[in-house]
Amino acid sequence: DDDFYICELAICSNQRGKGYGTEALNQLIQLAKDLDCRRVVLDADFRNDGAFRLYSSKGFKIFNRKSFGIPGKKRGMRNMELILK
């Protein structure tokens, strides 16, 4: 498979907003390029707008959405990808 899948990227709440998430994501994208992957894939929780903004700012696009059946609640995942080649 030519995909580089980021299963989890988490920054401690008291360290957010300091650029650590951006730097970690940059390093992971570079690793995927070094490994000659075709794309980077990750899932962004509907409730995590900060992560969604970060991923979007790096060029990730939504290719699928998965909603969970909890009436009246915003639950689910955005499947996102960054095409490298």
Predicted TM-score (pTM) of this structure: 0.86
Residue 30's pLDDT band (cuts 50, 70, 90) = very high
Backbone angles phi, psi at 21, to 5 degrees: -65, -45
Mean of the per-residue pLDDT values of the chain = 92
Long-range contacts of 51-59 (CB under 8 A, 24+ apart): 51/9, 51/21, 52/78, 54/21, 54/22, 54/25, 55/25, 55/80, 55/82, 58/25, 58/26, 58/29, 58/82
Residue 46's pLDDT band (cuts 50, 70, 90) = confident
Residue 23's pLDDT band (cuts 50, 70, 90) = very high
CB 44 within 8 A of CB 80: yes
Whether residue 74 is predicted with pLDDT greater than 90 in this model: the reply is no
Q: Cα–Cα distance between 38 and 14 in angstroms, integer?
A: 34
Give the mean pLDDT of 62-77: 80
What confidence score (pLDDT) does residue 75 get?
Answer: 79
Instruction: Identify the structural domains of the chain with CATH numbers, from first to last.
Output: 3-83 (3.40.630.30)
